[in-house]
Structure 1
Amino acid sequence: MTDVHEAPAADVERLRAAVRVLPPAAVLTHQTAAMLYGFGVVPTNELHVTVPAGTPLPQRRGVAAHGAVLPFAEVRDVLGLRCLGPARCAVDLARQLGRHDALAVLDAALRVGACTLDDLADEVARHEGLRGVRQARELVRLADPRAACRQESHLRLTLHDGLLPPPEPQLAVYDDAGRLRCRVDLGYAEERVAVLYEAETRVDQPRHNWLATRGWRMCYFTDADLYKDPYELVQTVRTALYHPH
């Protein structure tokens, strides 16, 4: 499962119309630029723009205007729209969003190839001293392009915060002949524990049965588990890892 999509043509046309009434120095940023770059995993109804330091912030309904503290080191043309560079947008979001969504943005930026880990690390260094940079620095170290969707990033960070060993995203599982049989969202190969996110309560029964016959223990979690009772989620995985019987 993936939650990264290309920007719909209707959204691009709406943005083109909106920027015509903004200051010429304004550039698209944050969630708006992330959507254009392909890592818009945190939705927003607002148009996010950044203006250079000293430029009055535009006061328009539906526009979230940000005043730049750092100079615009990179501005790109994306589908005819001026955007701050992808690493800058990802790190700005990583500084300002909640931790779970911040990691999801960084994972997605890497997944679609908008930037590299080195790009993100360099950008974090440029943000030194700004609010939220400690969070961004921590999460850049945890970012992984193999996370397939926003919720998998959330799930991985929940396990990390629960002081469990880091699972491998999209762990490949092979049969006795060495053929790829399936992948699990998050997995511990040595312990044969699979941690799976399900948008709703359902199980891939053939995969479940095949893994179970080979000694794998499956931990299935939905949104209710992930967002309402993360402590119990962590305890379930801990039990599977250290007290399998």
Structure 2
Amino acid sequence: MEEAWRFADLRASGLSKTQIRRRADGGRWIRPYHGVYLDAALRADELARLRALFLRLPSEAVICRQTAARLHGFGEFAPMSRTVHVLLPAGVHRPRLRGVTIHETATPLEPVTLNGIPSTSAARCAVDLARTSRRLDALPVLDGALRAGCNPDDLAMEAISHGGLRGIRQVRELLQFADAGAQCRQESQLRLVVIDGGLPRPQPQLPVVDGFGRLRYVLDLGWEERRVGAEYDGVSHLDRTRARRDRERHNWLAAQGWRMRYFTDLDLYRRPRHVVDVLRDTLTG
């Protein structure tokens, strides 16, 4: 059963303009894009809205960047964006649509299909995002792509094929630090602050076992030989139940000789030098 229709197709099926308008005004349909109607029950369904969008796009169009990252499963690692991102070959007509950002490419497109939606590959999506984002946002994208199952060799080859494009040098540099073990965007950013600060490269998601070899905790970042750990404290850590568990965890780790350091968004985004100084003192102390 169809979920979206072009206005022209509805008219061709025999519906009058009045009938179409009544169904929209009555709440049965919504109009996400000019000339396209969608079953109102699918209002919150991103995939349905994307399929509706393709009724207005040229046949060469593919989803890209943040939108493609969500389809590939690493959207939470990408910078925030409120628009749908679409990629078109150079020279193809670029329609102007509310809430849609059209990008143009001169490099060949080899799209994949995800849930019926043409998209850039995971590697192309990650490289495009990483080369056009600030450095602190670029590494999380590469981490997220690897975590979602993207092949490291595909990322490297994609970076090579983008030679000469703006930001590609950043991608090639950061690929050596990319790690599939990262659990969230801020963890990747904290790791990059540490690396850029000249400190030894930490291990993400470092497991800590007890005297019987049983896994007790997993640290965001850690230097096992020096028994130093670093973690990002987000909003969830303000919860009272979570705070109790965190205190118990901290006390156990301290009793085992681990020196833990915790950082917030203030540290990460406004005073990264403080993060580096604290960890350098801890690692050398």
TM-score by length of 2: 0.79
Aligned positions of 1:83-162 closer than 5 A: 83-113=119-149, 115-162=150-197
Which residue, out of 224, 235, 239, partners 2:277? 235
Q: Distance in 2 between matches of 1:54 and 1:108?
A: 32
Instruction: Tell me the distance in 2 between the aligned counterparts of 1:185 and 1:216.
Output: 13
| Map 1:198-213 → 2, pairs under 5 A | 198-200=233-235, 203=243, 204-213=246-255
How far off is 1:60 after superposition?
Answer: 2.0
Query: How much has 1:9 moved relative to structure 2?
Result: 6.7
After TM superposition, give the deviation of residue 33 of structure 1 in Å.
0.7
2:132 alignment partner AA:
Q
Aligned pair count? 234
Tell me which residue corresponds to 2:5. none
**Which structure has the higher relative contact order (CA within 8 Å, separation 6+)?**
1
Distance 2:44 2:73 in 1: 13
Counterpart selection for 1:28 from 63, 80, 84: 63
Which of 93, 97, 101 lines up with 1:56 in the alignment?
A: 93
Where is the helix percentage greater, Structure 1 or Structure 2? 2
Structure exhibiting the larger radius of gyration computed from Cα positions = 2
d(CA) in 2 for partners of 1:25, 1:139: 31
- Which of 111, 134, 138 in structure 2 is aligned with 1:75? 111
- Of the candidates 218, 221, 227, which is equivalent to residue 186 of structure 1? 221
Among candidates 206, 221, 224, match of residue 266 of structure 2: 224
If the length of structure 1 is used for normalisation, what is the TM-score? 0.92
Give the residue type in structure 1 aligned to 2:280: R
Q: What is the CA distance between 1:217 and its match in structure 2?
A: 0.5
1:12 aligns with 2:12: no
**C-alpha distance in structure 2 between counterparts of 1:145 and 1:58, whole Å:** 37
Deviation larger for 14-23 or 150-159: 14-23
CA distance in 1, matches of 2:72, 2:221: 26
Using the alignment, how far apart are the partners of 2:180 and 2:136 within structure 1?
Answer: 15
Q: Any gaps of 5 or more consecutive residues in structure 2?
A: 1-42
- Specify the SS of the correspondent of 2:176: helix
1:59 offset after TM fit, Å?
2.1
In the alignment, the residues of structure 2 paired with residue 19 and residue 152 of structure 1 have an alpha-carbon distance, to the nearest angstrom, of: 35
Measured on the aligned residues, the alpha-carbon RMSD in Å equals 1.4
Q: What is the identity, as a one-letter code, of the residue corresponding to 1:125? A: I
Q: Within 2, Cα distance between the matches of 1:165 and 1:214?
A: 22
Residue segments in structure 1 that go unaligned for 5+ positions in a row: 1-7
Q: What CA deviation, in whole Å up to 9, does each residue of 1:86-110 have, x standing for no partner?
A: 1001000011011121111110111
For 2:9, the equivalent position in structure 1 comes to: none
User: In 1, distance between residues paired with 2:125 and 2:62?
Assistant: 11
Q: Distance in 1 between matches of 2:116 and 2:108?
A: 22
Structure 2 residue matching 1:137: 3-state secondary structure: helix
Deviation of residue 58 (structure 1)? 2.3
Give, as a single letter, the amino acid of the residue that structure 1 aligns with 2:103.
Answer: H
